[in-house]
Amino acid sequence: MTRGRDGVAYLTIEGREAPLAVAVLHELEAALARAQGDGAFRSIVISARERDLVPGAGPAEPAFTAAVLAVLGRIDDGAKRVYAAIGGAALGAAFEIVLACDGLYAGPAARFGFTPAAPPTSGSRALERLTKLTGAETARAMLEGEPSDALEGYGSELLDGILVNDLLDDVSVFARREAALPRGRYDAASNLQPAT
């Protein structure tokens, strides 16, 4: 899952459709821990360039919920900036993970949000993060199961950019250039209250 170049750790989730099963989430959490602790890396990119990231289990399953929250904790508590590069869909728990990143970049075909089959994870900060980025009305619509496409996401400030060339190469430019910046896409992310 991990490779490095020019001070950036790339954590790539493989597969035509990549279900975020518990085992995949554990692997991602471990890769984040390694990258956060490795002095060779100054920033981190989580990528799924041409893949759809969909939940591999229901949010009511305790092991799945715990694995999602562990990944979110690694992103929230780490000192290094984390970027997401998404080419397909990021739904449910996958959307929560990319929301936690310092920068969210997408290809033109990307979609983000929740569906009845992929709702927010209990204990996450999805509502607060979405409200901070998009405003209450858009956040509420997305939480009720209306995913956004890339253009809508950019217009609502959910996305930092839509990249039409090589998504991973383009995101790496931001990851290298902004590595020394302080974290804080949400200004006070550590003060966000978990959803119940």
- Chain segment 118-154, per-residue pLDDT in tens: 888 888 888 888 888 888 888 888 888 878 888 888 7
**Confidence at residue 165, expressed as pLDDT on a 0 to 100 scale:** 81
**Element containing residue 84 per DSSP (H, E):** strand 81-86
Q: What is the mean pLDDT of the segment spanning 181-196?
A: 49
- Residue 141 and residue 181: Cα distance in Å, rounded? 32
Quick check: helix, strand or coil at residue 72?
Answer: helix
User: Residue 49 burial by CB count (10 A; 0-12/13-18/19+): exposed, middle or buried?
Assistant: middle
Domain boundaries, the chain: 2-180
Q: Which of 61-70, 87-96, 183-192 has the lowest mean pLDDT?
A: 183-192
pLDDT in tens, 74-112: 999 999 999 999 888 888 888 999 999 999 998 888 888
- Which architecture characterizes domain 2-180 according to CATH? Alpha-Beta Complex (3.90)
**Confidence at residue 44, expressed as pLDDT on a 0 to 100 scale:** 95
DSSP string, 118-186: B-PPTT--HHHHHHHHH-HHHHHHHHTT--EEHHHHHHTTS-SEE--S-HHHHHHHHHHHTTTSPP-TT
Half-sphere exposure (CA, 13 Å, Cβ side) for 62? 0
Q: Are 49 and 11 in contact (CB under 8 A)?
A: no
**Confidence at residue 196, expressed as pLDDT on a 0 to 100 scale:** 35
Can you name the residues that pair with 83 across neighbouring β-strands? 45, 103
**Confidence at residue 190, expressed as pLDDT on a 0 to 100 scale:** 34
**Against a cut of 0.75, is the pTM above it?**
yes
Which residue type occupies 59?
Answer: P
